[in-house]
Amino acid sequence: MHFTSMRERIYRAKDMAEHPERYTKAELDNMDENLRGLVDGLWDFVGVFGQIMHHTSENKDAWQESNLFTIGEHLAMVSDLAQGVADICDKLRNPAATKTEPLTF
């Protein structure tokens, strides 16, 4: 079960980055633009937790060690996801770099 179409769009974007010859320049540009919005949203999400941690640093009950560890793990996962999507964006912006060169003998 998932709540948005994000999963399908990320897999489609990955396919587009790996096989740019199957898509028009306009399709690649449109996907790149959509993914940039996703990356911005993911980094905003990470930033919000940083602000929460900063503003509640005096409340020892809010930040038990187990909670901090779990939050840190999940922030790392979101950060990795953001970086992975940003890497796909780079490939979409430079489609020639992802095309396979023909073998020469």
**38-58 b/e (C-beta count within 10 Å ≥ 16 → b):** bbeebeeeeeeeeeeeeeeee
Query: Domain residues of the chain, as ranges?
Result: 6-98
pLDDT (tens digit, 9 = 90+) per residue, 21-49?
A: 888 888 888 988 888 888 888 888 888 87
pLDDT at 103: 46
Answer whether 0.95 is exceeded by the pTM.
no
DSSP tag of 100? P
State the chain's mean pLDDT as an integer.
79
Mean pLDDT of 47-68: 76
pLDDT at 105: 46
Q: What are phi and psi of 19, to 5 degrees?
A: -135, 65
Position 93 pLDDT exceeds 80: yes
Residue pair 103/97 in contact (Cβ under 8 Å)? The answer is: no
pLDDT at 80: 84
